[in-house]
Amino acid sequence: MTKLWNAFATVDPFAGMTGQDPAILQDLVGGFWVDGETHRDVVDPMNGEAFIKVPDTQLLEPFFEGLIKCPKSGLHNPLKNNDRYVYLGRVCAKAAQMMADPDVEAYFARLIQRVMPKSWAQCVGEVTVTRVFLENFSGDGVRFLARGFSNPGDHPGQESRGYRWPFGPVVIVAPFNFPLEIPALQTMGALFMGNRPLVKAADKVCVVLEQFIRMLIHCGLDPDDLDLIQCPGRRMNELISSAADEIRLVQFTGSSWVAESLAETMHGKVRLEDAGFDWKVIGPDYDEEWLDYVAWQSDEDAYNASGQKCSAQSVLFVHDNWADQLVPKLKELAARRSLDDLTIGPVLTWTNSQIQEHIDAVLDVPGAQLLFGGAPLTGHNIPDCYGAYEPTAISVPLSEFDSDHFDLVAKELFGPFQVIVRYGDDDLDTVLSLLERMSHHLTAAVVSADILFQQRVLGATVNGTTYCGMRARTTGAPQNHWFGPSGDPRGAGIGTPEAIQFTWSAHREIIADNGPMPEGWTTPPVR
């Protein structure tokens, strides 16, 4: 039986994408899908087969032309081509309806799972977030983003009007860990506000975004509204460097060192979400009734998607009142994770040797102890270019964290790893000083029913998305919430109307002064 996704899809994640039948991807440039002259192989993270061929794009001029043909005033704005707000709302409505089809939902979920292996529930959740985002901006949802305001002037006929204004030609460099959700929300947000984006997804997962864009075009999106480039990172850097004067904004999600390099190249014209060492503080108000739940939530936060979330729990500060009961529970829960259902799976950016090197270094910290994990997974065909490691936790004494070992202990391992730190009644100031020293303030959690304790921690910290209460987590927030770092003026946001406006538009003030001529007016004296 014909599936609805057959109307747009060019790859089949169920029966294709193998060494014998690899997916062959294309660039989108100037409104046309273009074959690559040469290709690079993407290796299947589960068996090592070359299952995707990505264009090894070397010719950059067409993409440069796509940037310069978009004016600074954008493809549309509140005073130009404003019918596009309605058009994009219709595209969102049709795309959301298509993604609500069970077969299309399964198509994208399986496609995600093939390139970024994680549990089926995690993959379906990513599709759901994307679909609901499109639903939220269906119809007049896009137009509402362009709402402005006005203030009366100093005399009749004068009015001050504020508008949300696009940047025009922009660039998006998307991460690998959410192959659909993050680039989809970033791309649509840029389009909503009137920009024309050039988008690059991570090579290992770019097939997901390519198929999503094909679906959007099927649902009515003008293929010339954006460009999609498949190329090595160094070529993308060359393109951005050569077009830095024409590019009005780059949104980047990824490693800190690349982010800082981009910020320098673009002379600060960037919006960043560049990693995070996310923390959770469990307060002193131990409640046995909540023990299993807090343990389960902490396991989810640390090890879902094998820890490959920028919102993953990297360090857990546990009050002495909880520690003896909680840590054994965490060990039990971690042991449930299995390659069979991909509740633990390949690590795409760290190899086992790199993971082991970091674990060994942390274990060399005086007083550090391996609590559980600490060994590679066995019984699989995951290639050596990827990691495959047990959910791991190491305890580090608070005093050693608050020492010359800080940089080592606070280094983010983008995989199934966390540091656990005990603290007592007299140690909260030390904990807060450590939170102050951390960088990249993305997500955090304060697990406590004590409002005064919550306020003390929240009032001394800056993380962009912070949870509090007994159900507090570091990842998995409700739909339609702001997601992005705080404490960095370059920080980008996704998800909400406010995040879209902040990231993808600037404020423009227009002073209307339409008379009438003041009665009896004459040229005044010089003042």
- Give the residue numbers marked as catalytic: 273, 310
Identify whether the C-beta of residue 443 lies closer than 8 Å to the C-beta of residue 463.
yes
- Whether the bond into 516 is cis, omega within 30 of 0: yes
Identify whether the C-beta of residue 43 lies closer than 8 Å to the C-beta of residue 72.
no
Neighbours of 356 (CB within 10 A): 16
Residue with tokens 């102050």: 436
3-state secondary structure 511-524: EEECCCCCCCCCCC
Give dist(CA 180, CA 130) in Å, integer: 7
Q: 3-class DSSP state for residue 28?
A: strand
Identify whether the C-beta of residue 186 lies closer than 8 Å to the C-beta of residue 483.
no
Sheet holding 32-34, edge to edge: 32-34, 27-29, 227-228, 196-200, 169-173, 249-253, 270-273
Q: Which two tokens stand for residue 136?
A: 């939220």
Residue with tokens 């310069």: 68
b/e code 474-485 from CB counts within 10 Å (16+ = b): bbebeeeebbbb
Q: Which two tokens stand for residue 301?
A: 């936060």
Residues in the chain: 527
Identify whether the C-beta of residue 429 lies closer than 8 Å to the C-beta of residue 456.
no
Residue with tokens 């606070």: 410
Q: How many helices (H) and strands (E) does the chain have?
A: 17, 20
Give dist(CA 183, CA 349) in Å, integer: 18
CA 202 to chain centre: 12
Sorted by sequence, the CB contacts under 8 Å of residue 357 that are 6+ apart come out as none
> Residue 196: enclosing H or E segment and its boundaries?
strand 196-200
CA 3 to chain centre: 30
Residue with tokens 């929300």: 185
Give dist(CA 93, CA 86) in Å, integer: 11
C-alpha torsion 155→156→157→162, nearest 10: 50
Separation of first and last alpha carbons in the chain: 82
Residue with tokens 């690349």: 258
Q: Which two tokens stand for residue 78?
A: 């509140």
